[in-house]
């Protein structure tokens, strides 16, 4: 399963690694005057331009306030929102986490 995170969360660790590489690249091209702020701005721009996934957290039926476990039917729940049988790992856009 893929994992997702905020792009702001990854910028700092990437900057630490990328700045070294970026500086080496510029020095190899014969540019000896390197501005750290320019390097950070370029790297932040590159990270910001990366395509990101539009994701939302889902509530599985087993954890949903609208589902009721059916004892006579193994691993099946009744969804009170959609009025149908669902499996524990199903989900929908109406899911709300059960109060703990």
Radius of gyration of the chain (CA): 24
pLDDT score, position 73: 74
Domain 56-100 indexed as CATH 2.40.30: no
- With vertex at residue 56, the alpha carbon angle to CA 76 and CA 60, rounded to the nearest 5 degrees, is 10
The pLDDT tens digits along the chain (100 residues) read 456 666 677 777 777 777 777 667 666 666 656 666 777 777 778 777 776 777 788 999 999 999 998 877 778 999 999 999 999 899 999 999 998 7
pLDDT score, position 36: 67
pLDDT score, position 1: 44
Cβ 43 vs Cβ 14: under 8 Å: yes
């Amino acid at each position: 399963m893929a994992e997702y995170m905020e792009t702001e969360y990854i910028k700092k660790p990437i900057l630490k690694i990328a700045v070294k590489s970026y500086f080496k690249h510029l020095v190899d091209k014969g540019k000896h005057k390197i501005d750290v702020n320019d390097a950070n701005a370029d790297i932040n721009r590159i990270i910001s331009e990366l395509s990101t996934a539009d994701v939302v957290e889902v509530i599985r039926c087993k954890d949903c306030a609208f589902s009721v476990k059916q004892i006579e039917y193994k691993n099946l729940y009744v969804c009170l929102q959609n009025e149908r049988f669902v499996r524990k790992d199903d989900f929908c856009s109406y899911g709300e986490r059960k109060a703990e």
